[in-house]
Structure 1
Amino acid sequence: MGTATTAAPHVMVLPFPGQGHVTPLMELSHRLVDRGFQVTFVNTEPIHALVLDALRPSGGISALPDGIRLVSVPDGLAAGDDRRLRPLQVRGRALPVRSGLRGALEQLIRETKVKWLVRDVNMGMCFEAAVKLGVRVAAVFPAAAACLGALFMVPQLIEDGFFDNKGIWLHENQTFVVFSLICSVYMPWSIDGAHEGQEVAYRLVSSNTEAARRHAEIVVCNSFRDAEAAAFELFPSIVPVGPLFADAELCKPVGQLLPEDTGCMRWLDAQPDRSVVYVAFGSFAIFDSRQFKELAEGLELTGRPFLWVVRPDFTNGDLSKAWFDEFQERVAGTGMVVSWCPQQQVLAHCAVACFMLHCGWSSTMEGVRNGMPFLCWPYFVDQFANRSYICDIWRTGLAVSPGEDGIVTKEQVSVKVAKVIGDEGMAERARMRRDAACKCLGEGGSSRENFSRLVDLLRE
């Protein structure tokens, strides 16, 4: 008589539809598969299509381990709607997405018969579908614990007169201090435009946070204890399991939304150690043509090799193609421009000297894990608080300072790159931060122990 085998525990993972959300939850999924889980990874249909397209050069769906199954649900938008990810569009469309997701997710849960939904805190509208069907919920916050902690503090901040109950700041240019971070008016619901839009976004963010409070049996985040000691002390219910990564060899797919140009790795191999400026601003940031030119010419002015990620939609459309072609010809012996790249492999490469970034949390953690000094150029919401971590708390980077016209000049780009790369104290602090992250992930480390705690819970 054969021995009965126990089926692998099966969980459903649901990220918010954006690169900085899909990647950490895909990394978490890989780690769960390593612990014997089956994962059904749920993207909205447009994001699902982008992930499949980006996987195609590396073998398509077969590049993923057998334990991860990719599925999709409708996002609730009409067929002709513009689905390009922008801060304002994402916030403004979150409510339509809600109605399209809940019913489809409910049906998917019934079909897969999972006991656990591991979902992004920013997808709080999908809690009801899980709770209705008796499915237990674990929440993942892909940003800094301080950001979630600030959201937990919202009722107190309203009582203290920072903003009203619609999320509107009561005083211009107001700041407050949370966990030694200087937080500006950029809160997670802050968008450009009329107050009505901000109110809608505020209600959504608040409802997501409240849903995590009420229904999630555990809230984990992509951070580590030594990175945010004050935040974790004040909010012990937020559990750090990061920095997340798919595998030590950096070979497993992490849910990219654009095809990676792997040729940049061969280019990096030809560069001297600690010589290259790596420049990438994530999937949201947009530069107008004037700022784009200043950045381009600033990189050229450094006289250093640089690897610059320029998405197809990185500018607002008024940049002269002839100018950009001429620029690329001029720097061809020094700089390389790609539309997307395997960022974690790039940051782990010995040729990279510093990371110029938008301060998105996933990119920040990837840089920290590789001991990068940073040049910070935040774009919106939590990225300004992340800059405060890098520059004021960790002291592992500098920030650009736009002039009165809002422009960062090419001269400033060149000068600050030189300062970041030339500061040995900053480099040493970056290495210490890297070592602290590795210790948290190592045997007996707090992130590793916390991840084991999550695994044990999901096995119940």
Structure 2
Amino acid sequence: MEKNCRKNEKIHAIMIPYPLQGHVIPFVNLAIKLAANYSFTITFINTQSVHHQISINNSGTGSDDIFAGARESGLDIRYRTISDGFPLSFNRSLNHDQFMEGILHVFSAHVDEIVGEIVQLSEKENCLPVNCLIVDTFFVWPSIIADKYDLVNVSFWTEPALVLTLYYHLDLLKQNSHFASQDNRIDTIDYIPGVPSIDPKDLMSYLKSSDIWTPVHQIIYKSFTDVKKADFIICNTINELEPETISAIHKKQPTYAIGPIFPRGFTKGPVATSMLAESDCIQWLNSKPERSILYISFGSYAHTTKHDIVEIANGLLLSGLGFIWVLRPDIVSSDDTDFLPEKFLENVGSGGLVVPWCSQIDVISHPSIGGFLTHCGWNSILESIWCAVPLLCYPLLTDQFTNRKLVVDDWKVGINLCDEEEITKDEVTKKMNTLMDGKESEETRKEIKRIKTVLEDSLGLNGSSERNLKEFVEKLETKVKRINE
């Protein structure tokens, strides 16, 4: 019986997202797509901390299986949780470096234990052995775990291919003194395969840092050594938007652009993914004219300064625009929650709405939204393009500076919030009005509608992303078959 089970070529994949909101969302959506469209069996593993935040903020119980609804619709997605090495009460955002140290040095032991347990149980009880590991590229251990349990190693990259290839070629950046040099060069970088040119100011924040031995830097070094051992890389991007970059990586190892990874119908799906409690903004938006509201959100994790928040707030008041502003209480820091200008909310009146969190898909797809002031997180960019909402770019950290280059310089679907060294209320006002109205606004809207069509076509029956996903699955099945023989 054991031998016959081993010849079963159906894919049973363990999926493990990086324990941050922006990584969990595309992982959940991909799990559903693989289970629904290709009959994968998925065992999805969240950290206990991520699970606790999702379940508390979506049901209040703290104990729900977030994939229960997906299974009710017939999908074979099992759910497990794992310790990240810290107690639930530990503030991972406030103690970022300590948290990253744990992810770097401790988390792999917990992964090894649970993967070994799942592999053993699946072979004994389900007659459906685990044969594939789909994990976030930023983990440092995938090749070790995959080799130990004889699993196909699939690296899922949740950001654009441009960011992937820059990290992938850290050795070239070092050799040419654009990174890890005592005095980094500031001239244009034109030697990265698949990247015609990029200015150093557009590199990810970690590649511009003077301290290159932080826990995150060590994670980057190890994970981008390990990813070169993966059997496949799948990317949440689109061939037509980054053709040269994807082609160059694909020549090194099999790489497939399968994005954008959205929930079916671009609506909230059966699986909760929000790690923060959502406010209902739809009734308020229903009362506003079409394309009249500026949506503002800086994501679930990044922080900014009180100065910038004050200038943005005062610029908003001067602009006279209607807005909905997602403003996390810890956006400046966990210790400073009083950051808005005095009487800001009184002065705004009914023209603006400030909430701690919301369902971005619901809000950004609402007809009253006319623009999006964003930190340039990759999920936010893809969602904004899908809804043809032009972007006002305010990158804060990591890939967001590189994403901004794609949005503003390459695709021309957005503009910069700040072109100077420091944000001022006058520039904020000018840029907000430019985004929402006028000749430049219409040109940006025209271009984003064109790019939206590219995204839609990629997910069509014969679209590039659907073809790539199908090819990836076929190659994966072939590799699994070869392992089983």
Question: What's the TM-score once normalised by structure 2's chain length?
Answer: 0.84
Give the deviation of 1:251 after TM superposition.
Answer: 2.4
In structure 2, what residue type is equivalent to 1:453? E
Separation in 2, partners of 1:63, 1:270: 35
Give the deviation of 1:79 after TM superposition.
Answer: 6.7
| Structure-2 residue corresponding to 1:157 | 173
Separation in 1, partners of 2:187, 2:301: 25
1:205 counterpart (220, 230, 234): 220
Separation in 1, partners of 2:14, 2:450: 36
Separation in 2, partners of 1:320, 1:17: 25
The answer to whether residue 30 in structure 2 is matched with residue 28 in structure 1 is yes
Separation in 1, partners of 2:322, 2:206: 38
Question: Retained in 1: the 8 A contact 2:202–2:402?
Answer: no
The answer to whether residue 323 in structure 2 is matched with residue 306 in structure 1 is yes
3-state DSSP class of the match of 2:107? Answer: helix
The answer to whether residue 373 in structure 2 is matched with residue 356 in structure 1 is yes
Give the deviation of 1:264 after TM superposition.
Answer: 0.6
The answer to whether residue 248 in structure 2 is matched with residue 229 in structure 1 is no
2:291 counterpart (263, 274, 299): 274
Question: Retained in 2: the 8 A contact 1:86–1:284?
Answer: no
| Structure-2 residue corresponding to 1:48 | 51
1:196 counterpart (195, 213, 226): 213
Question: Retained in 2: the 8 A contact 1:76–1:96?
Answer: no
Q: Kindly report which structure 2 residues correspond to 1:257-296, keeping only aligned pairs within 5 A, or say none.
A: 257-261=275-279, 263-296=280-313
| Structure-2 residue corresponding to 1:251 | 268
In structure 2, what residue type is equivalent to 1:94? I
3-state DSSP class of the match of 1:437? Answer: helix
Separation in 2, partners of 1:181, 1:365: 21
Question: Retained in 1: the 8 A contact 2:57–2:276?
Answer: yes
Encode CA deviations 1:68-124: one digit per residue, 9 max, x unaligned: 333211112367643227765554443234344333333343334421111111123
Q: Kindly report which structure 2 residues correspond to 1:329-344, keeping only aligned pairs within 5 A, or say none.
A: 329-344=346-361
Question: Retained in 2: the 8 A contact 1:51–1:257?
Answer: yes
Separation in 2, partners of 1:240, 1:328: 44
**Gap change, CA 1:48 and 1:7, over 3 Å in 2:** farther
Question: Retained in 2: the 8 A contact 1:189–1:205?
Answer: no
The answer to whether residue 117 in structure 2 is matched with residue 104 in structure 1 is no
**Gap change, CA 1:434 and 1:126, over 3 Å in 2:** same
CA-based RMSD of the aligned residues comes to: 2.8
Separation in 2, partners of 1:79, 1:33: 30
Separation in 1, partners of 2:442, 2:69: 40
Give the deviation of 1:239 after TM superposition.
Answer: 1.2
In structure 1, what residue type is equivalent to 2:449? R
343-352 or 325-334: bigger deviation: 325-334
238-247 or 65-74: bigger deviation: 65-74
| Structure-2 residue corresponding to 1:3 | none
**Gap change, CA 1:97 and 1:52, over 3 Å in 2:** farther
Question: Retained in 1: the 8 A contact 2:67–2:79?
Answer: no
The answer to whether residue 40 in structure 2 is matched with residue 37 in structure 1 is yes
2:234 counterpart (220, 225, 232): 220
Question: Retained in 1: the 8 A contact 2:188–2:198?
Answer: no
Separation in 2, partners of 1:155, 1:189: 15
The answer to whether residue 442 in structure 2 is matched with residue 429 in structure 1 is no
Give the deviation of 1:399 after TM superposition.
Answer: 0.8
1:73 counterpart (46, 57, 82): 82
In structure 2, what residue type is equivalent to 1:26? V
* Unpaired segments ≥5 residues, structure 1: 1-5
Separation in 1, partners of 2:185, 2:325: 35
Separation in 2, partners of 1:346, 1:323: 23
The answer to whether residue 184 in structure 2 is matched with residue 171 in structure 1 is yes
Separation in 2, partners of 1:172, 1:77: 40
**Gap change, CA 1:86 and 1:396, over 3 Å in 2:** farther
| Structure-2 residue corresponding to 1:382 | 399
Give the deviation of 1:288 after TM superposition.
Answer: 2.5
3-state DSSP class of the match of 1:123? Answer: coil
Separation in 2, partners of 1:305, 1:342: 19
Question: Retained in 1: the 8 A contact 2:391–2:435?
Answer: yes
1:141 counterpart (157, 161, 164): 157
3-state DSSP class of the match of 1:258? Answer: coil
In structure 1, what residue type is equivalent to 2:53? L
3-state DSSP class of the match of 1:176? Answer: coil
Separation in 2, partners of 1:311, 1:345: 18
**Gap change, CA 1:100 and 1:254, over 3 Å in 2:** same
3-state DSSP class of the match of 1:332? Answer: helix
Separation in 2, partners of 1:11, 1:124: 19
Separation in 1, partners of 2:60, 2:169: 45
In structure 1, what residue type is equivalent to 2:468? N
**Gap change, CA 1:27 and 1:131, over 3 Å in 2:** same
**Gap change, CA 1:49 and 1:190, over 3 Å in 2:** farther
Encode CA deviations 1:385-438: one digit per residue, 9 max, x unaligned: 11111111111111122655x4x1222111101111222111100000000110
Separation in 2, partners of 1:359, 1:264: 22
Q: Kindly report which structure 2 residues correspond to 1:105-144, keeping only aligned pairs within 5 A, or say none.
A: 105-110=114-119, 111-112=121-122, 113-144=129-160
Separation in 2, partners of 1:192, 1:161: 13
**Gap change, CA 1:411 and 1:354, over 3 Å in 2:** same
Separation in 2, partners of 1:320, 1:99: 35
3-state DSSP class of the match of 1:124? Answer: coil
Question: Retained in 2: the 8 A contact 1:224–1:437?
Answer: yes
How many pairs are equivalent? 446
Give the deviation of 1:343 after TM superposition.
Answer: 0.8
3-state DSSP class of the match of 2:81? Answer: strand
329-338 or 15-24: bigger deviation: 329-338
Separation in 2, partners of 1:150, 1:381: 12
Encode CA deviations 1:253-282: one digit per residue, 9 max, x unaligned: 352111222x21221122111111011111
| Structure-2 residue corresponding to 1:12 | 14
Give the deviation of 1:440 after TM superposition.
Answer: 0.8
Question: Retained in 1: the 8 A contact 2:186–2:200?
Answer: no
3-state DSSP class of the match of 2:415? Answer: strand
428-437 or 341-350: bigger deviation: 341-350
**Gap change, CA 1:142 and 1:179, over 3 Å in 2:** farther
**Gap change, CA 1:171 and 1:161, over 3 Å in 2:** closer
Question: Retained in 2: the 8 A contact 1:51–1:258?
Answer: yes
Question: Retained in 1: the 8 A contact 2:237–2:259?
Answer: yes
Question: Retained in 2: the 8 A contact 1:105–1:129?
Answer: no
